[in-house]
Structure 1
Amino acid sequence: MLNLSEAGFLLLEFTEVWELQILVFIVFLILYLATVVGNLLIVFAVALDHHLHTPMHFFLMNLAIQDLGQISVIIPKSMSNSLMNTRHISYSGCVAQVLFFLFFLASDISLLTVMAYDRYVAICKPLHYDIVMNRGACIKMVAGSWTIGFLYGMLHTSGTFGIPFCSNIVNQFFCEIPQLLKLVCTDLYLIEIGAVVLSISIVLGCFIFITVTYVHILIVVLRIPSVEGRQKAFSTCLPHLIVFSTLVITGCFAYLRPPSSTTASYLDLIISVIYSIFPPMLNPVIYSMRNKEIKAALSKLLGLG
């Protein structure tokens, strides 16, 4: 059993060649800056344009904040390690990565579920929309998504780090739970098994809720007589569907694939990069491309309109 509070962990490096490490740093820097700029533009556009002070855009602003947090928890440390030619992360730093990454990830899923309900009320019960989705209700829904995310992160973090580790070599570029569990000294990590079962139940519940919601939405939309009306209704739902699908598909590839050996594989690295970086980076693009109000606000914010 190791005293990891002093030794810390050793993360996986993408390459041992210094020149390629710098290349990895540059690629990560570009991806990180693109994600930060894109999500900050969404936040400022919604906050500064009174036309966007609606429930849908309020949820979108919080989603952008969550995406910023999710990518900022892991990418800067990886870039720093590549630049400094080191693999080390402190024990507390690893705990913080697990806690906050899962906090923002779970908040994302919870908020996307809330956004599906928002679209359902807007399309299926438009006359009750202002009453159901009032300011107080929206704030409570967002606060609930953040709270669920924090409790989820705390549950997984306490379950993972309450187990003794026999190694400190993490075969991943950040502290990822599946890789950390390969380092434990015993197979009896019942707390984390319970946390995993609970997590699957929650995610499956969110998936079923969103699926049923969109079945109802689809039924109502198909009854709209005008083609223009159907297209408008679909256009408000399509970005949400794309964002949720991207998050679920990449997450399933990361956590539901067959376990690899204890040695690192480039497939593990690629999949982890995809699910941890691409959804936060693509979300602003998806929403700004399909939302006329967002595009108008961004053009105004950047002085292009």
Structure 2
Amino acid sequence: METYNQTSNDFILIGLFSPLGTGLFLFIFIVLILLMALFGNLSMILLIFLDTHLHTPMYFLLSQLSFIDLNYVSTIVPKMAFNFLFGNKSISFIGCGIQSFFFLTLAVVEALLLTSMAYDRYVAICFPLHYPIRISKRVCVLMITGSWIMGSIKSFHTAYALHFPFCGSRAIDHFFCEVPAMLVLSCVDTTHYERTAYASGVIFLFIPSSLIFASYVQILLTVLQMKSKEARKKSFSTCFFHMIVVIMYYLPFIFTYMRPKKYHTPGQDKFIRNKDVLDAMKNMLRSSFLHKMLQVKSLKYILLSIFIINI
């Protein structure tokens, strides 16, 4: 890794691409894929908004996930692209804090929305007669609003992380400002902060993921008791794709945020936490429209092999 001394309050983002021709090719290819992902998510949001048949809690939650995807790209990609194109890898202290805050907010909101979607499917399959009461529009709005509020509150701890003194190098071996990658640069003991972050991870990662898996165990038992093969197939299709999304979302976050600082090796989180790769199977639910949109979104999986080669 290149050596960057502490000459200002700015941080340096090492980035994801090499300055050579291969890096430029990968950059262009990834930008094209991300533009397609942007188009796919925006199209999904507009279609759900315009089609009254899709004005249901499930699709409302789905549109929120697509909205989060759009914000992820807006938070990370512009700065990453600017740094690569103009060779300026610096990011201001305040800019780094803002980027970290919004990224973590979106991450927590998505975690809670995935939990809400699991509850939606649990009620729809296990208690179909109670669904209009348990998952009303009011309840759906409350779940979404609560997710955003909790996400914003959770993300305020990034301000505390920025108060740590950063001695010597201020080069973050990442393509955006993420707290675990920043803690590695701190020259003081961050054990207390890490314990707090670990407890926060238990609350916002481990507990929601446990609730999701518990709900899907119950869903699976209910589906197996269905007499209609078509109903079983439809239910399995919905739950299977949702579980893939949950696994691909929670495992990398748990791996990144619930490890001590000493176990964070250079470049490791840069690969693990590439959000645009890990979100490739987002919004894979039961309608034919969603499966068609998936053909666009799944193209982001191509990035996975590229990052493996590049890191």
Question: After TM superposition, is the score higher than 0.5?
Answer: yes
User: Which of 148, 151, 170 is the matching residue for 1:149?
Assistant: 151
**Is the alpha carbon distance of 1:228 and 1:16 closer, same or farther for their aligned partners in structure 2, counting shifts above 3 Å?**
closer
Following superposition of structure 1 onto structure 2, how do residues 191-206 of structure 1 map, counting pairs within 5 Å?
191-206=193-208
Corresponding residue of 2:309: none
State the alpha-carbon separation in 2 of the partners of residues 3 and 13 from structure 1: 18
What SS is found at the alignment partner of 2:174?
Answer: coil
State the alpha-carbon separation in 2 of the partners of residues 260 and 191 from structure 1: 13
TM-score by length of 1: 0.85
State the alpha-carbon separation in 1 of the partners of residues 263 and 143 from structure 2: 41
Cα distance, 1:153 vs structure 2: 1.3
What SS is found at the alignment partner of 1:183?
Answer: coil
Corresponding residue of 1:164: 165
Following superposition of structure 1 onto structure 2, how do residues 56-205 of structure 1 map, counting pairs within 5 Å?
56-155=58-157, 157-166=158-167, 167-188=169-190, 190-205=192-207
Q: Using the TM superposition, name which of 181-190 and 17-26 deviates more.
A: 17-26
**Is the alpha carbon distance of 1:80 and 1:21 closer, same or farther for their aligned partners in structure 2, counting shifts above 3 Å?**
farther
Cα distance, 1:212 vs structure 2: 1.1
Cα distance, 1:232 vs structure 2: 1.6
Corresponding residue of 2:222: 220
1:24 touches 1:82 (CA, 8 Å); kept in 2? no
Matched AA of 1:89: I
Cα distance, 1:251 vs structure 2: 2.9
1:63 touches 1:108 (CA, 8 Å); kept in 2? yes
1:171 touches 1:263 (CA, 8 Å); kept in 2? no
Corresponding residue of 1:303: none
User: Which of 279, 286, 291 is the matching residue for 2:287?
Assistant: 291
Matched AA of 2:227: P
Corresponding residue of 1:52: 54
**Is the alpha carbon distance of 1:232 and 1:15 closer, same or farther for their aligned partners in structure 2, counting shifts above 3 Å?**
closer
2:123 touches 2:130 (CA, 8 Å); kept in 1? yes
Following superposition of structure 1 onto structure 2, how do residues 231-242 of structure 1 map, counting pairs within 5 Å?
231-242=233-244
Corresponding residue of 1:302: none
**Is the alpha carbon distance of 1:31 and 1:163 closer, same or farther for their aligned partners in structure 2, counting shifts above 3 Å?**
same
Q: Could you tell me which runs of 5 or more consecutive residues in structure 2 were left unpaired when the two chains were aligned.
A: 295-311
Following superposition of structure 1 onto structure 2, how do residues 263-282 of structure 1 map, counting pairs within 5 Å?
264-265=266-267, 267-273=268-274, 276-282=275-281
Corresponding residue of 1:207: 209
Cα distance, 1:7 vs structure 2: 2.9
**Is the alpha carbon distance of 1:196 and 1:283 closer, same or farther for their aligned partners in structure 2, counting shifts above 3 Å?**
same
Cα distance, 1:250 vs structure 2: 3.2
Matched AA of 1:280: D
2:252 touches 2:272 (CA, 8 Å); kept in 1? yes
What SS is found at the alignment partner of 1:7?
Answer: coil
State the alpha-carbon separation in 1 of the partners of residues 212 and 135 from structure 2: 17
* Sequence identity percentage: 35
Q: Using the TM superposition, name which of 16-25 and 193-202 deviates more.
A: 16-25
After superposition, what is the alpha-carbon deviation per residue over 1:23-65, rounded to whole angstroms, capped at 9, x for unaligned?
2431331232122111111101110100100010000000111
**Is the alpha carbon distance of 1:240 and 1:122 closer, same or farther for their aligned partners in structure 2, counting shifts above 3 Å?**
same
State the alpha-carbon separation in 2 of the partners of residues 142 and 63 from structure 1: 10
State the alpha-carbon separation in 2 of the partners of residues 129 and 44 from structure 1: 25
1:163 touches 1:189 (CA, 8 Å); kept in 2? no
1:25 touches 1:83 (CA, 8 Å); kept in 2? no
1:246 counterpart = 2:248 = yes
**Is the alpha carbon distance of 1:82 and 1:124 closer, same or farther for their aligned partners in structure 2, counting shifts above 3 Å?**
same
1:22 counterpart = 2:24 = yes
State the alpha-carbon separation in 2 of the partners of residues 186 and 192 from structure 1: 12
State the alpha-carbon separation in 2 of the partners of residues 291 and 236 from structure 1: 9
Query: How many residue pairs end up in the alignment?
Result: 289
Corresponding residue of 1:32: 34
Cα distance, 1:75 vs structure 2: 1.6
1:103 touches 1:150 (CA, 8 Å); kept in 2? yes
1:49 touches 1:297 (CA, 8 Å); kept in 2? no
**Is the alpha carbon distance of 1:42 and 1:98 closer, same or farther for their aligned partners in structure 2, counting shifts above 3 Å?**
same
Cα distance, 1:135 vs structure 2: 1.1
Q: Using the TM superposition, name which of 54-63 and 188-197 deviates more.
A: 188-197
State the alpha-carbon separation in 1 of the partners of residues 133 and 9 from structure 2: 56
**Is the alpha carbon distance of 1:243 and 1:14 closer, same or farther for their aligned partners in structure 2, counting shifts above 3 Å?**
closer
Q: Using the TM superposition, name which of 138-147 and 8-17 deviates more.
A: 8-17
What SS is found at the alignment partner of 1:109?
Answer: helix
1:21 touches 1:83 (CA, 8 Å); kept in 2? no
2:76 touches 2:99 (CA, 8 Å); kept in 1? yes
